[in-house]
């Protein structure tokens, strides 16, 4: 029961932090602003349009990963620098319990913050639809999209905690987390495009077309993967339609990014002398 105990403590500590309260307030404010801007009074309210065109690109795919990096980068490295990690490991906790317990605890805390941040705008929009100020509000689409936003946060928390476990200082963990954020948010398309151009001869010999390799590299980015899945959900084509194979690949890569970085961090952490 060591892992659940660490996860519970980390969850409680993170939820009680001032940063989580600020995050919830910021999410609520930004979603409300987007809803107001993209909802002219008396006209048809497009829940799917709000989420996929306004909230998604400008809020979820940029802010959620950044907050996740901030939440997770000091999970292990912070306790290592303060000396509390030695005390923690003196209890019946393994290093694997520490790493994956912190992924679970901080991922759950960020998910709760995302749901709480989306809750107030949802209540307001639902009330507006009941009083006739907007024609419709699709609560199911809104809730489902919030789940995808939380999943993206969990993935980046796992990546950040993996960096934290591998790094010996908070500074190095932060640099690693920010570098990965910049890679996925800003540079992924340019890097994968250059890779395909440089390795075109090798790609041509693979049992897959260059287009298929290009699509796989796109969904290998967890941000693109969540965008693909959430848009398919909003379009009522989740795991169906023409993009079903891409969606399956996206799910596989999201699982990979949730498990692999903590495992790599644990491998390095296990070899360190505290």
pLDDT score recorded for residue 20: 79
Q: In terms of Cα–Cα distance, which of 211, 214, 212 is closest to 193?
A: 214
Q: What is the pTM of this model?
A: 0.90
pLDDT, tens only, 194-238 = 877 777 666 666 666 777 778 888 889 999 999 999 989 988 888
Q: Which residue has tokens 């952490």?
A: 269
Greater pLDDT, 16 or 233: 233
Query: Distances in Å between the alpha carbon of 191 and those of 23, 29, 62, 197, 198?
Result: 31, 34, 18, 10, 11
pLDDT score recorded for residue 250: 93
What are the domain boundaries of the chain?
A: 2-185+257-271
pLDDT, tens only, 65-74 = 999 999 989 8
Q: Annotate 219-270 with DSSP letters as a single string.
A: HTSHHHHHHHHHHHHHTT-TT-STTHHHHHHHHHHHHHHHHHHHHHHHHHHH
Cβ burial 29-65 (10 Å sphere, 16+ → b, else e): ebbeebbeeebeeeeebbbbebbbebbbeebbbebbb
Mean pLDDT of 98-107: 93
Query: Distances in Å between the alpha carbon of 123 and those of 131, 144, 266?
Result: 12, 15, 42
pLDDT, tens only, 27-62 = 888 877 777 776 655 555 567 777 777 677 777 888
């Amino acid at each position: 029961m060591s892992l659940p105990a660490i996860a519970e403590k980390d969850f409680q500590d993170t939820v009680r932090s001032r940063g989580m309260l600020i995050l919830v307030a910021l999410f609520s404010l930004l979603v409300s602003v987007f809803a107001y801007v993209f909802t002219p009074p008396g006209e048809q309210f497009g829940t799917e349009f709000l989420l996929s065109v306004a909230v998604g690109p400008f809020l979820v795919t940029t802010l959620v990963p950044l907050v996740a990096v901030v939440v997770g980068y000091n999970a292990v490295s912070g306790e290592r620098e303060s000396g509390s990690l030695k005390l923690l490991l003196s209890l019946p906790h393994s290093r694997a319990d520490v790493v994956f317990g912190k992924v679970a605890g901080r991922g759950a805390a960020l998910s709760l913050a995302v749901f709480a941040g989306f809750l107030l705008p949802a209540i307001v929009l639902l009330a507006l639809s009941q009083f006739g100020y907007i024609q419709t509000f699709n609560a199911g689409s809104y809730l489902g999209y919030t789940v995808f936003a939380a999943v993206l946060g969990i993935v980046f928390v796992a990546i950040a905690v993996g960096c934290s476990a591998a790094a010996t200082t908070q500074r190095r963990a932060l640099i690693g987390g920010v570098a990965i954020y910049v890679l996925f948010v800003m540079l992924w398309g340019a890097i994968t495009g250059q890779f395909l151009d440089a390795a075109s001869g090798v790609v041509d010999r693979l049992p897959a077309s260059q287009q298929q390799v290009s699509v796989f590299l796109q969904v290998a980015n967890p941000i693109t993967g969540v965008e693909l899945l959430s848009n398919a959900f909003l379009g009522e084509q989740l795991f169906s339609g023409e993009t079903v194979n891409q969606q399956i690949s996206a799910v596989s890569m999201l699982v990979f990014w949730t498990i692999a970085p903590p495992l790599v961090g644990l491998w390095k952490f296990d070899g360190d002398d505290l």
